[in-house]
């Protein structure tokens, strides 16, 4: 702690780190005390951009050695998340981890073990938990407006060329890179783990822009079975030429929600789906996402020593389901059971 505030370091100086920093700057209980990047110059540019005069370093060791450091936001490329999380956990730092948190099953399990052994608090950046439309759905479910939710559809559709984001694919499959948001959302709305995945996939010909972005499958659709027997469909697609879209549909015995539209037998006068004005998760721009609420949640979890429902341990099932979808698609649709061992 510094001056009675949670001292946070930012590891990574790319586009998403800006939203992390701005959210910490708005939180009265936290302060950013250092920025790390692969080059000191990159960290210094980010510090100037956000108006901070803090140490800028080019190694994780130097970042973790900052006096009084309590927590780290890991905003580096996906291939670095696992090792940096393990280093931070072993140094006793609480961690907010951008997604995907790992690019292999073994990495995922190693970092989960390190965090559990260290006893530190974690939040995985599934920021759409704090999207107003999603919060509306959770409130409608809690109020019994949908009855028993038995089927969920979530889709992450993001053509990076259309969005002007070529080069930001993360070097991993579409299902893991962004589809993990859709997989997490399906679990969040059904409040259940995934136990089986059956998927099909398609990728464009080698050498195309979309194919280069995702060395793994560029377009995947997965049928998922939840632990309690309910079902869902999750997709991650990047080859379609269209603006960003994140679809949410959930069917219940007493009603349905499709995005921001509701139909329920609890309102017997309805003649069609009723629109609920809200903020939808309909833009891929990170500035559109509710990082302030996510980081307020992380700070609260650390200061009050409580486990987040969006912890790394919870996110293991989401990531395993994404790995299973990629594996099933690569094997022509063979069902893959969870948990995965490797």
- The model's pLDDT over 59-70, given as tens digits with 9 standing for 90+, comes to 999 999 999 999
The pLDDT, as a whole number, for residue 19 is 97
Whether pTM exceeds 0.85 = yes
How far is it, in rounded angstroms, from Cα 28 to Cα 9? 16
The pLDDT, as a whole number, for residue 1 is 86
Rounded to the nearest integer, the mean pLDDT of the chain is 95
Domain architecture of the chain: domains with CATH: 6-127+292-308 (3.40.50.720), 131-285+319-337 (3.30.360.10)
Of 212, 246, 220, 234, give the one whose Cα is nearest residue 133.
246
Of 125, 165, 56, 93, give the one whose Cα is nearest residue 291.
125
The pLDDT, as a whole number, for residue 207 is 56
The pLDDT, as a whole number, for residue 113 is 98
Q: Indicate whether 188 pLDDT > 70.
A: yes
Mean pLDDT of 210-222: 77
Total length of the chain: 342
Q: Indicate whether 101 pLDDT > 90.
A: yes
Mean pLDDT of 50-57: 98
The pLDDT, as a whole number, for residue 3 is 86
What percent of the chain stands above pLDDT 90? 90
Q: What is the CA radius of gyration of the chain?
A: 20
Q: Indicate whether 209 pLDDT > 70.
A: no
The pLDDT, as a whole number, for residue 26 is 98
Whether the upstream peptide bond of residue 223 has omega within 30° of 0, thus cis, is no
The pLDDT, as a whole number, for residue 215 is 67
The pLDDT, as a whole number, for residue 163 is 67
Task: Enter the DSSP assignment of 5.
Answer: B
Q: Indicate whether 210 pLDDT > 80.
A: no
The pLDDT, as a whole number, for residue 53 is 98
**pLDDT 10s digits, 150-180:** 999 999 999 988 766 665 556 799 999 999 9
Task: Enter the DSSP assignment of 273.
Answer: P
């Amino acid at each position: 702690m510094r001056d009675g505030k949670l001292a946070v370091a930012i590891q990574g100086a790319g586009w998403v780190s800006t939203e992390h920093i701005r959210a910490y700057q708005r939180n009265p209980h936290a302060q950013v005390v250092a920025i790390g990047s692969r080059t000191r110059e990159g960290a210094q540019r980010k510090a100037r951009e956000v108006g901070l005069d803090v140490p800028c370093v080019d190694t994780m060791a130097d970042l973790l050695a900052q006096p009084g450091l309590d927590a780290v936001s890991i905003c580096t490329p996906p291939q670095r998340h696992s090792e940096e999380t393990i280093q931070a956990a072993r140094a006793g730092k609480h961690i907010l981890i951008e997604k995907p948190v790992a690019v292999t099953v073994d990495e995922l399990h190693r970092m989960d073990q390190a965090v559990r052994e260290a006893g530190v608090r974690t939040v995985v950046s599934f920021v759409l938990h704090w999207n107003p439309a999603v919060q509306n759905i959770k409130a409608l479910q809690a109020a019994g407006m949908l009855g028993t939710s038995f089927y969920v559809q979530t889709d992450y559709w993001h053509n990076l060329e259309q969005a002007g984001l070529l080069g930001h694919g993360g070097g991993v499959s579409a299902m893991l890179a962004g589809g993990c948001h859709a997989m997490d959302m399906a679990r969040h709305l059904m409040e259940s783990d995934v136990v089986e995945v059956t998927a099909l996939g398609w990728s464009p010909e080698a050498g195309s822009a979309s194919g280069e972005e995702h060395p793994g499958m560029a377009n995947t659709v997965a049928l998922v079975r939840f632990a309690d027997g309910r079902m869902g469909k999750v997709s991650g697609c990047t080859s379609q030429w269209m603006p960003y879209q994140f679809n949410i549909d959930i069917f219940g015995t007493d009603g349905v929600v499709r995005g921001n539209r509701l139909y329920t037998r609890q309102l017997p006068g309805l003649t069609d789906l009723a629109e609920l004005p809200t903020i939808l998760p309909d833009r891929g721009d990170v500035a559109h996402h509710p990082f302030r609420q996510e980081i307020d949640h992380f700070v609260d979890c650390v200061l009050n020593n409580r486990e987040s429902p969006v912890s790394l341990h919870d996110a293991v099932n989401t990531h395993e389901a994404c790995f299973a979808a990629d594996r099933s698609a690569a094997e022509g649709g063979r069902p893959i059971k969870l948990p995965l061992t490797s």
